[in-house]
Amino acid sequence: MKDKVNLAEKIKLLNKPYQPGVVGYLNNYKLIVVKVHGEFVWHKHDETDDFFLVLRGHLTIQLRDRDIELDKGELYVVPKGIEHCPKADAEAYVLVIEPKDTINTGNAGGTLTVDPVEI
């Protein structure tokens, strides 16, 4: 990494919800910022945990047996293999960390499946 990353400035470069923006790497992990608004899609990652840290707003990570409610400065790691579905009624900003080859929609596929952009 050549220079520091200001997360708030990077997130401004994203123009739609659920478009992941890669701001850097930690070994073979990608550091992603994303605007969350509305409901994503139920999915799981059988090969990896999934890290979420809320930078602004409120994020709900729906699990099959409960909801995880995250405000700014709160994080949750979804264990590998566990179905989850993020949602936010108002736009939230989130830092996500997962291996480089992780697909955003996991096993679900569908129209929300996108490659991250480098920002």
Give the residues lining the site for a copy of itself (CB under 8 A): 1, 3-8, 23-27, 29, 31, 48-49, 51, 53, 55, 68-70, 73-80, 95, 97, 99
* Contacts made by residues 59-66, CB under 8 angstroms, sequence distance 24+: 59/86, 59/87, 59/88, 59/92, 59/94, 60/86, 60/87, 60/88, 61/85, 61/86, 62/86, 62/87
Nearer to a copy of itself, 8 or 110 (CB): 8
Least Å from the CB of residue 12 to a copy of itself: 12
Nearer to a copy of itself, 30 or 43 (CB): 30
Nearer to a copy of itself, 23 or 88 (CB): 23
